[in-house]
Structure 1
């Protein structure tokens, strides 16, 4: 499948079956995150994989899990992130987002569904899973087999702004 077809196929699933994610598919998704580009190749991300029911219940104290069988808490290690020298912009959150996007698209390729969650209390997540202070939980990627209906691939024609509203050439 070409890249645009893959990207258009992916949607945010909010209802998952109880079917477990096969270890080889999970490892494939994690490998996609491992090879994702990061600023200066510093790889300032750490990924907490949560699959056990007890862990998913702990995560649910802070975030909706939609009964997904796998949650990836993607963290930025700001002690390892590249900082732009001109304005001191820490790129840990950018790098974590690139890693998460690679994993999300790899999950789609493997026949898995996903939803990217940012609506959670990072302090509750930090406390429940013993996340060190040097790491910032940036997002949670939920994975599994969807029980809801896939979204039509042509939805982007209606739901996305046209290129003419988001792309500018040579000047704004």
Structure 2
């Protein structure tokens, strides 16, 4: 969603969206995430400075998702850190719950993390992972018209040689 109405999101709606994120699964149930609800104009401006696109200025609220790598599960075989995966699952819960309540969102990862880190006084153990601008859409939400790969190009049966059709 890239255009929002000038209308605040009521606190009970935001709490329901956060509850959906809280209930998201995470590796070994470590829940290495932090969700910062941002509706202060100065802090929203700082989010915009970290991702200077005009459309983001219209969002009356955002959720900043941070991950704590010191709390996340690491796979023993190769020490793969699942913090970003866990955060992505929670973000998906946020965007789906928001959409079900008529709230538009957009997943933003292309931002300057140093601006975020300084603006929100994040400790070293917290990494800013994504910004989710939120608001009531100016237009009715429509299914995505982006070109998607055919299922036969991405789903396979018992290996990578036979498409799952």
TM over 0.5, shorter chain: yes
Task: State TM-score, norm by structure 2.
Answer: 0.91
DSSP-derived class of the 2:131 partner: strand
Question: Aligned-pair distance for 1:146?
Answer: 1.0
Is 1:80 aligned with 2:68?
Answer: no
1:17 is matched with which residue?
5
Q: How does 1:152-167 map to 2 (within 5 A)?
A: 153=143, 155=145, 159-167=147-155
**Partners in 1 of 2:116 and 2:68 — Cα distance?**
15
Quick one: which of 19, 28, 41 aligns to 1:31? 19
Q: Take 1:143 and 1:169, find their aligned partners in 2: how far apart are those partners?
A: 39
TM-score where L is the length of structure 1: 0.87
Give the structure 2 partner of residue 60 of structure 1: 48
Indicate the RMSD between aligned Cα atoms, in angstroms. 1.3
Between the two proteins, the alignment pairs up a number of residues equal to: 157
Q: C-alpha offsets along residues 153-172 of structure 1, whole Å, 9 cap, x if unaligned?
A: 3736xx21111111011001
CA distance in 2, matches of 1:78, 1:154: 33
Q: Distance in 2 between matches of 1:44 and 1:95?
A: 7
Q: Who is 1:3 aligned against? A: none
Q: Where do residues 42-121 of structure 1 align in structure 2 (5 Å cutoff)?
A: 42-63=30-51, 64=53, 65-121=56-112
Pairwise CA distance, 1:53: 1.0
Q: Which residue of 2 aligns with 1:144?
A: 135
Contact 2:45 2:57 in 1 (8 A): no
Contact preservation (8 Å) 2:60, 2:134: yes
Alpha-carbon separation, structure 2, partners of 1:124 and 1:154: 31
> 1:168 maps to what in 2?
156
Q: Is there any run of 5+ residues in structure 1 with no aligned partner, and where?
A: 1-12
* Distance in 2 between residues matched to 1:15 and 1:57, nearest whole Å: 16
Q: What is the CA–CA distance in structure 1 between the aligned matches of 2:132 and 2:144, rounded to whole Å?
A: 24
Distance in 2, Cα, partners of 1:132 & 1:73: 14
Deviation at 1:139, TM superposition (A): 0.6
Unaligned runs of 5+ in 2: 161-165
State whether structure 2 residue 120 is matched by structure 1 residue 129.
Answer: yes
Judge which range, 142-151 or 75-84, deviates more: 142-151
